[in-house]
Structure 1
């Protein structure tokens, strides 16, 4: 067969393309030819010339021979070359399998595998690994199971690397029960095996199941610890995440960039600034300050812990910024009431050539909403589509309703909802309801709650707002009716909680809390503060206590609000002049807001409160929100 191949038409000096005669090829010309063929026909022509020139075909690049002949009818031709040279062909086919598996079309690896079986190529463990990788990329469990059957048939079940690939494939393709069965049956497991299972349990939201496996691990790696920390963060359990991190440090492990990002996210969620700063220092020592994701998470952590200046510092020191960096900083400035700086930063972003995305505009609209910049908000909303081709999402519509409602433009907000091109959700109607509470519009509030009862029937916040609107209007029967509706539907009121972190310890308070070890000292300190506050003109705003009780009882309720207890605890347990940072899960009330302004002046301290909507920075008798929140 080989001797019958036609001599190729080659270009040499003094000969035309039509020349079809054999020539003695120089070594350099020969080397150039054998390295530059693309199609099987070219390979055959070169091979023929090698034979006629009495040159061994061993100079052919055998890996290229397989890549050219794979998935063609010339597969057997390549096999003849390997047999002629007495070469183990599976090695070279495996090279092509690997290339296909890592290519844009990994299905070719599966096709090549079946071609190898059809031509009786003896496959090995590497063959199976590359095809499994292709199946994983394609989420192809059907062919993955077929490959596993070959693994069992060939007796490769003891190959730990292969079995880890199979477990990972099954779990990635949604057959977690199958993956767990294989995991349980494996006689030998390594840290990779355990990590695969933990990672996929976390992805499924079963962080408790992942933690049970984590505790059983005979050996752990940094990835094991990081998976658990990140898993608890993703499941909104930042305290547990930080607990695992402490264990990790005690075990002598040093985190990588992924660990740092996960721990910083947990610090942001609980407001643990001290640990966040320590992780920042560690990150710098390890050289992670060049990692954009680490820097972006640092910005987010400092913002959520109320350290706007530190966030600015990280942002300004970044050598390279992405749209995420700019958007995080704009959002942070908005949350802290620095709307003008947020808008200025947006202009700087545009000037540097960074194109905004939909998240950027959420930050801009929040900035306008928090400071009542209605016209600017309208302009930004319009420019999203006209200037940047960004179609507004439901979040942007919610921001606009919030902006209009806060500003008292309730009818315009209602009309805006009516003309929305997408169906309004609970957040949109909730924004209108919130504006109705601020501006005491019962009629629109009742309309909003009708929609909310269908869209989000178990959200206690909406019922509480309507109940409070009725109570503020002294419509006690309607207030009682709403409360009864909540009981009938099994909706429970979320208690107000405030957290203050002192020297790494988290102290949590609820309204009227007397369980704290320092309760007596807190009460005594509050009484002393109260006398000083009243001398400065503070008068308790009992209107915010929406209960039909005596004024004296209302004052007692006011004085035991969770944020007041957290503040006094912070004042008692921190040094003079030290900033007190409080996190509250609900909107801060008007009386606490007024009280904190006075207290900040009395104690000459900065008090930063993060409620569910924004930050309030109290300093020298004023608040960063400008009393607009």
Structure 2
């Protein structure tokens, strides 16, 4: 292939890789009779972005030529996947590294909550830039160290260091997530430029903290909205018990993702509309693959309706149909459903057989149900288990006395 053809093919490959078009990138890559390091790096990036870490590593190991971009791409792939052990091992093998290499690890350790490691690596960077400072800013905010984040942010402004909208949004998100809405609002008012991330941060923060009016005001002020904006306002109305309004916004959404479906499922399940939640769930499964949150919400709804067979079916479906491992909360919901529906022996059997260490919560659910069903035998058994797990719980004696009184 002439040099011009290689250059144009490489340019097209890079474009497809950066756009996330893995199949198109692979088709161009496979058709190239001669591959240069730029093309290999682009393909490596495409595999990593698609989450194909194993294929990316195999390609990296088989590359005839690697440059610093190759090493940084593989390093970033491990960091994004949360495999910090392998990322650190790869860094140790690198003959040279730059600000990008270390910044990747600063950000990764920050996301993992390893603030000390983020600071240690950050201090090793000799040539800081806005990206490295933003990574450290995010690590401070993630760990809840707002004062240190603010100090770094202020130093970037006061000393005329390079900063960008990401810096402002990172600081804003730190305040918002920790509930410091007054500080977030003050920072928001100082921002000369705002993007969709800015608006979504403020809408979500006010929605999650119960400020429905402010969340709606920001929603309507935003110059553009996306699925995050719409989902936040649906959840805000649901938290206030305004199911009709939540449903209206939900139905007006131009598109929906799993988070949006879960938000509406939660709105129905947690506000006394359990039957509607159960009707929505099959509709949801036709367009979205439910996650463990979806199943937790629908088991909660089934519990309020006493839908034992559907609850058991949904619990089994998690692993058999979707490859999800039920968490302890899923089992607790099912125990509560069985017990309240009068299936006391089945509830006990599920507690004894679940792949988690039992605690007082499950047995307390069973004990509470025994009062309504006037079952002294299971009541005494449940009370004994509660007290063996939590001896200082006087409520178990009171609940057992109520069982005897009702029987």
User: What TM-score does the superposition give when structure 2 sets the normalisation length?
Assistant: 0.68
1:432–1:191 distance in 2 versus 1, CA, 3 Å: farther
Q: Does 1:274 align with 2:220?
A: no
| SS of aligned partner of 1:218 | helix
Q: Deviations over 1:430-475 (max 9, x none)?
A: 533554677787624523424543xxx9xxxx93743763797999
- Aligned partners of 1:435 and 1:371: how far apart in 2? 15
- Aligned partners of 1:428 and 1:260: how far apart in 2? 42
Aligned to 1:362: 296
Task: Confirm or deny: 8 A CA contact 1:199 1:210 kept in the other structure.
Answer: no
- Aligned partners of 1:178 and 1:93: how far apart in 2? 36
Superposed, which structure 2 residues align to 1:37-76 within 5 Å? 61=6
Q: Does 1:300 align with 2:240?
A: no
- Aligned partners of 2:120 and 2:217: how far apart in 1? 42
Q: Deviations over 1:259-311 (max 9, x none)?
A: 444444433442221222123223xx4221xx333333332232223222222
- Aligned partners of 2:194 and 2:125: how far apart in 1? 29
Aligned to 1:141: 88
Aligned to 1:245: 184
Q: Identify the match of residue 108 of structure 2 among 148, 154, 172.
A: 172
Aligned to 1:286: 223
Task: Confirm or deny: 8 A CA contact 2:250 2:264 kept in the other structure.
Answer: yes
1:277–1:450 distance in 2 versus 1, CA, 3 Å: same
Q: Identify the match of residue 343 of structure 1 among 249, 253, 278.
A: 278
- Aligned partners of 2:364 and 2:168: how far apart in 1? 39
- Aligned partners of 2:183 and 2:196: how far apart in 1? 16
- Aligned partners of 1:215 and 1:59: how far apart in 2? 46
- Aligned partners of 1:259 and 1:465: how far apart in 2? 47
Q: What is the deviation of 1:246?
A: 0.7
Superposed, which structure 2 residues align to 1:210-249 within 5 Å? 211-219=149-157, 221-231=164-174, 237=178, 239-240=179-180, 242-249=181-188
Task: Confirm or deny: 8 A CA contact 2:266 2:297 kept in the other structure.
Answer: yes
Q: Does 1:443 align with 2:390?
A: no
Q: Deviations over 1:321-346 (max 9, x none)?
A: 33443333122201101122222223
1:437–1:212 distance in 2 versus 1, CA, 3 Å: farther
Task: Confirm or deny: 8 A CA contact 2:363 2:382 kept in the other structure.
Answer: no
| SS of aligned partner of 2:156 | coil
Superposed, which structure 2 residues align to 1:131-530 within 5 Å? 131-139=71-79, 140-145=87-92, 147=94, 150=96, 162-169=98-105, 172=108, 180-181=119-120, 183-184=122-123, 189-203=128-142, 205-208=143-146, 211-219=149-157, 221-231=164-174, 237=178, 239-240=179-180, 242-253=181-192, 255-282=194-221, 285-288=222-225, 291-349=226-284, 352-374=286-308, 376-378=310-312, 380-381=314-315, 392-407=326-341, 409-420=343-354, 423-425=357-359, 427-435=361-369, 443-450=380-387, 452-453=389-390, 463=393, 465-466=395-396, 469=399
Task: Confirm or deny: 8 A CA contact 1:330 1:364 kept in the other structure.
Answer: yes
1:250–1:59 distance in 2 versus 1, CA, 3 Å: closer
Q: Deviations over 1:564-617 (max 9, x none)?
A: xxxxxxxxxxxxxxxxxxxxxxxxxxxxxxxxxxxxxxxxxxxxxxxxxxxxxx
Aligned to 1:98: 41
RMSD value, Cα: 4.2
- Aligned partners of 2:358 and 2:100: how far apart in 1? 46
- Aligned partners of 1:373 and 1:346: how far apart in 2? 14
Q: Deviations over 1:397-435 (max 9, x none)?
A: 211112233445545422332344655455534533554
Task: Confirm or deny: 8 A CA contact 2:364 2:383 kept in the other structure.
Answer: no
1:102–1:338 distance in 2 versus 1, CA, 3 Å: same
| SS of aligned partner of 1:287 | coil
Q: What is the deviation of 1:233?
A: 6.2
Task: Confirm or deny: 8 A CA contact 1:433 1:448 kept in the other structure.
Answer: no
1:191–1:386 distance in 2 versus 1, CA, 3 Å: closer
Q: Which has the larger radius of gyration?
A: 1
Q: What is the deviation of 1:216?
A: 3.8
Q: Deviations over 1:213-257 (max 9, x none)?
A: 4454423544234334544666xx3x22x2342122221255544
Structure number having the greater strand percentage: 1
1:443–1:207 distance in 2 versus 1, CA, 3 Å: farther
- Aligned partners of 1:130 and 1:272: how far apart in 2? 47
